[in-house]
Copies of this chain bind each other. A is one copy, B any other.
Amino acid sequence: MKLLKYIQLGHGSGGKLTHELINEMFVKHFDNEILRQQGDSALLPMDALSLSSFTSESDVARSFPADSKKLAFTTDAYVVDPVFFPGGNIGTLAVSGTVNDLAVTGAVPLYISAAFILEEGLAFQDLDEIVRTMAETARNAGVSIVTGDTKVVNRGQCDKIFITTTGVGVLESTFEHIASGKRVETGDKIIVNGFVGDHGISILGERESLNFTSPVRSDVSCLNSLIREVTRSFDVHFMRDATRGGVATVLAELAETRNKGIEIHETSVPVRDEVKGICEIFGYDPLYIANEGKVVMVVANEQAEEVLVRLRGHALGRESAIIGVVTGEPAGKVVLNTEIGGQRFLDMLAGEQLPRIC
């Protein structure tokens, strides 16, 4: 890649430019074994953490046990605009997003930290509502917000409020393959737990003051209980939450890293009529729209129907659907069988569709 001279919005899209920035800047400089895995959470050796003899990280690395329990560790900055939107706010998003990043690796989320950057002049009432709903979201998900930080910048030097949450959870070794998808095989089914695109369209609607008869609500929610419901009974080969870049970007990444083909049937993808309509007007593809309560799961063909039943039995999975299948060819590519009978490739999101979506 030739790095551009200046940061563009697309570098925060979760798509191609973000990947280039991560690889050619962060991974290059911060270089270490754990970072190189590039999962939604970093996986830290637990047994090593318990040793009393080490004095630095290099000692920990030496005593890294091959097959032990691990600590999952993840961080995300939230800059969503507007701060309040139908179905949630920046605070509920900040808690859910971090809980989900831990949960999709197969970890049990336990503790969260929250760092606030506040703009001078932010209304206390708004901050109070954000903090109150964060607390509620955390409680419902069974996690504790245990530490934090507050900075205030002068008026005009940030946009109302930014929140960075970092999460810690525990990953049993039986789930360690999930993040990398190394057990993904030809014939596996692709499942999503409901309507895609709700979060992105909710933000768009609020931002553009679109007059929906009934506004699309963000799907922001903590998926850890839904995911646990599946992982404790079934063998999930891969999971990831489809946030920035949407379902398509998750699948494109998986196809590329595993060098498998993926075939998706557009008619099988659950999309609300309102979302479909708005996407048509704006020229968006729902498969690239951000979600904040959707997980893409890959499971063995013979377990797929049972997983579907289990998901549909959970409040956050009523509209779950099998949307596609893993194929051998074309290796590294995602093929979409369109509604009108055509076929096209789904690549990672290029550029920035809708900035500050989360």
* A11-B152 in contact (CB<8A): yes
Segment from A136-144, A197-205, A279-287 that makes contact with B: A136-144
In addition to A12-B151, A26-B114, 11 A-B residue pairs with Cβ atoms within 8 Å of each other are A5-B125, A7-B121, A21-B150, A30-B134, A32-B144, A42-B146, A44-B111, A44-B168, A71-B71, A77-B164, A117-B162
CB-CB under 8 A for A152 and B12, given A30-B131, A73-B147: yes
The 0/1 profile, CB within 8 Å of B marked 1, for residues 72-101 of chain A is: 011111110100000000000000000000
Residues of B within 8 A of A46 (CB): 49-50
Residue A331 interfacial (CB < 8 Å)? no
Of the four ranges (under 10, 10 to 19, 20 to 34, 35 or more), the interface on chain A belongs to: 35 or more
Residues of B within 8 A of A123 (CB): 5-7
Q: Is the interface of A mostly helix, strand, loop or mixed?
A: mixed
The 0/1 profile, CB within 8 Å of B marked 1, for residues 8-25 of chain A is: 111111000010011001
* A73-B12 in contact (CB<8A): no
A220 CB, min distance to chain B CBs, angstroms: 17
A67 CB, min distance to chain B CBs, angstroms: 14
From the candidates B75, B118, B146, name the one contacting A149 in the complex (CB within 8 A). B75
Segment from A56-64, A270-278, A320-328 that makes contact with B: A56-64
Residue A3 interfacial (CB < 8 Å)? yes
Residue A154 interfacial (CB < 8 Å)? yes
Interface residues of A (CB under 8 A from B): 3-13, 18, 21-22, 25-26, 29-32, 34-35, 41-42, 44, 46, 49-50, 52, 54-58, 60, 69, 71, 73-79, 81, 108, 110-111, 113-125, 127-128, 131-132, 134-135, 138, 142-154, 156-159, 162, 164, 166, 168, 170, 172, 228, 352, 355-356, 358
* B159-A355 in contact (CB<8A): no
* B9-A54 in contact (CB<8A): no
Residues of B within 8 A of A162 (CB): 77, 117, 158, 162
Rounded to whole angstroms, the CA-CA distance of A30 and B149 in the bound complex is 13
* B152-A228 in contact (CB<8A): no
A134 CB, min distance to chain B CBs, angstroms: 7
CB-CB under 8 A for A152 and B6, given A113-B42, A113-B166: no
Residues of B within 8 A of A352 (CB): 152
A34 CB, min distance to chain B CBs, angstroms: 4
* A25-B128 in contact (CB<8A): yes
